[in-house]
Structure 1
Amino acid sequence: MGMNGIKAFSIVALVLASMVTPLSAMAAGDRVVVFAAASLKNAMDDVAAAYKRVRDADLRVSYAGSSTLARQIEQGAPAAVYVSANEAWMDRLENNGRIAAASRIDLLRNELVLVAPVSSDVRATLDASADLRSLLGEGGYLAMANTDAVPAGIYGRQALRHLGLWDGLQGRIAQAEDVRAALALVARGETPLGIVYSSDAVAQADVRVVDTFASDSHDAIVYPAAVTADADTPAARNFLAFLQGEQARRLFRKWGFGVADGE
C-alpha cells in the first residue's frame, strides 16, 4: 500500500473511531439498572414492560431484599434506580451520599398480612389473644423474611411484639432471605403460616389471607425510590418519573399496592 493509501486508511479509521465511541457511550448512558425490593417483582415486571413499550430503553431490573440491594449499592453495584421496601435502608444510602437526595420520593404503600396455604382451614384474628403457636401445630413454623434486616421481617417482628406474641413464637420462626422466599414456604405447604405483604398474597394463588395486621401495630410500610448518585442520568430520571405516572400506578394497584400520596 502506497503512502496515499496508508493516509486514506488512517483517516477512515479515525472517522470510524469517532463514530463508534460516542455511540458506545450513549448506549451506556441509556442503560437503566433498577434495584427493587423482592415484593415488587410482579408489579415491577409489568411496569418495566409498559415502559419499554413507550420508550426504546435498555431497562434491567434486579430483585432481592432491600437490605441486600442497599449493601450492593454501597459496594459499587451499577444500579441507577433503587426502590426499597422501607425508609431505613434508603435513609442509610442517603446519609452515605449514595443516592441523589433531591430525586427521592415516597412511591408506594403496603399492608402486612398473615397467610396460610390456600387449602388450609386455619382461622385467626390478629389481636393479643391470638395463639399462633398452637395454630402452627406440632413442629410447624411461621415463615417470615429475615427479622433483623429485611423490611417485611422487621415489620412482622414489630407487629408481633405489639400484640405480645413475639416471645411465645421463639424457636418456631423460619426466617427466609426475603419476603418472596417466605411466601414460597407457605405456598409450597412447608410452613402452615407466614407473614408477608398484602401484595404478595395477591401475587400468589396458592396462599390465602388469614387476617391483616392493624396499621398501628408496625411502622408505616412505605416504599421510597431514588436515583443513585453514581448513575444520575436523564434515562434514570425518566424511569423514575414514569414510576409516578398514572400508567404505572394502575399496574401497582393491580398487584395490591397503594400509591404513597393516597390517590
Structure 2
Amino acid sequence: MKKIWLSIAFVLVFFVSCSTNAVDEGKEVELIISAAASLMGVMEEIKNDFETIHDDILLTFNFAGSGSLAQQIQSGAPVDLYISANQEWMNTLADNEWIQPDSRINVAHNQIVLVKKSKLDYESSMTFVGLSEIEELQIAIGDPATVSAGFFAKQVFEELGIWTNLKDKLVYGKDVQQVRTYVETDSVDYGVLFLSDTIVTDEIEVLDVALSSWHDPIVYPAAITSHTENVEAARTFLNFIASEAIEDVWIEYGFNQKH
C-alpha cells in the first residue's frame, strides 16, 4: 500500500510540474521601465512598435525626472530597466550596484534649447546670452538637483557667466513636462527644455540652441537593474531601442542616436 501511495504522489507531482512549466512558457512578461520624462513621446511610439513584434512582453513606463527615478530605484522600487537623461544619475546607481554594469549602453543624444510660447510678442530674437540683459522676466527650467534638462540649463548659464544674474528669475519645474506647461500657459516669459520636448507641441517656439561646448554631452544611458527577475526581456527591449532599425523614430522626436 505504501508503494501505491508513493506512486500516486509521484504522478501528481509530475503533472503539477508539467502544468506549471506550460503556464510559465506562455506567460506574458511585464517590464517596468523608469524613463526620463523627456522620453515620453518617443517611448510611447517605440512601445507600440516593440509590442507588435514581441507580443509576449508588456511594457509599463514610469516617467519622471532622472534624479527622482534614480532615487526611487535606490529605495527599492520594482524597476526592470532605467533610462536616464544624463550620465550622473546612472553613475550614482552604478556606484551603488543598483544596475548591471555590463548592460549599460547609450541610446540617444539631445540638445538644450531656449523657448517661448508660440504667437506671443516676446522678443523672438532672444538668445541665451541676452537673458541676463532683461531686468524683469521669469524663466522656467527643471530643478537642477533632479531634472536633467535643468542640470544642463544651469551648466549653460554658468558657462556663459550669467547664472548669478538669473538665479532670482528662475522658476523650477519638477520635470520637463511641468516646465513645458509653464511655457505653454504663458506662466513664464521663457523656458529651457530639451529639443525633443518641443517636437510634441505646437505651442512652443525655439529661440536659441545651446552650443555643445556650453554643457556636458547630453547622452541618454540605459541599463538593466540589478534586482530584476526579467533580465532576458529587459535585454530584448534594450537592444531594440539601441538598434538602427528605429533610428527614424528617434529622429522624428528630436533625438539623435549618433551611431
Same fold (TM over 0.5): yes
Supply the AA of the counterpart residue of 2:143.
N
Paired with 2:118 and 2:15, the residues of 1 have a C-alpha distance of 61
Alignment map for 1:1-263 (pairs within 5 Å): 17-18=16-17, 21-22=20-21, 30-56=29-55, 57-121=57-121, 122-126=123-127, 128-131=129-132, 133-134=134-135, 136=137, 141-231=138-228, 233-259=231-257, 262-263=258-259
Cα shift readout 1:218-252 (whole Å, capped 9, x = no counterpart): 11111001111111511111000101123332211
The structural deviation recorded for 1:215 is 1.0
The structural deviation recorded for 1:21 is 4.4
Alpha carbons of structure 1 residues 118 and 27: separation in structure 2 relative to 1, 3 Å: farther
Supply the AA of the counterpart residue of 2:256.
G
- The answer for the alignment partner of 2:4 in structure 1 is none
Alpha carbons of structure 1 residues 41 and 23: separation in structure 2 relative to 1, 3 Å: farther
Supply the AA of the counterpart residue of 2:104.
R
Supply the AA of the counterpart residue of 1:149.
T
The structural deviation recorded for 1:77 is 1.1
Alpha carbons of structure 1 residues 130 and 175: separation in structure 2 relative to 1, 3 Å: closer
Supply the AA of the counterpart residue of 1:233.
V
- Is the contact made by 1:133 and 1:169 (CA closer than 8 Å) also made in structure 2? no
Q: What TM-score does the superposition give when structure 2 sets the normalisation length?
A: 0.88
Cα shift readout 1:144-174 (whole Å, capped 9, x = no counterpart): 1002221111110110111122111222211
- Is the contact made by 1:116 and 1:186 (CA closer than 8 Å) also made in structure 2? yes
Paired with 2:136 and 2:125, the residues of 1 have a C-alpha distance of 8
Paired with 2:133 and 2:51, the residues of 1 have a C-alpha distance of 45
Cα shift readout 1:93-131 (whole Å, capped 9, x = no counterpart): 111111110010011110000000001232245354543
Paired with 1:190 and 1:27, the residues of 2 have a C-alpha distance of 51
- Is the contact made by 1:133 and 1:168 (CA closer than 8 Å) also made in structure 2? no
What secondary structure, in the 3-state scheme, does the structure 1 residue paired with 2:227 have? Answer: helix
- Is the contact made by 2:106 and 2:220 (CA closer than 8 Å) also made in structure 1? yes
- Is the contact made by 2:154 and 2:163 (CA closer than 8 Å) also made in structure 1? yes
Paired with 1:182 and 1:13, the residues of 2 have a C-alpha distance of 60
Aligned residues: 252
Paired with 1:188 and 1:27, the residues of 2 have a C-alpha distance of 48
Percent identity of the aligned residues? Answer: 30
Alpha carbons of structure 1 residues 125 and 95: separation in structure 2 relative to 1, 3 Å: same
Supply the AA of the counterpart residue of 2:37.
A
What secondary structure, in the 3-state scheme, does the structure 2 residue paired with 1:230 have? Answer: coil
RMSD between aligned alpha carbons? 2.5
Q: What TM-score does the superposition give when structure 1 sets the normalisation length?
A: 0.87
Alpha carbons of structure 1 residues 168 and 58: separation in structure 2 relative to 1, 3 Å: same
- Is the contact made by 2:108 and 2:220 (CA closer than 8 Å) also made in structure 1? yes
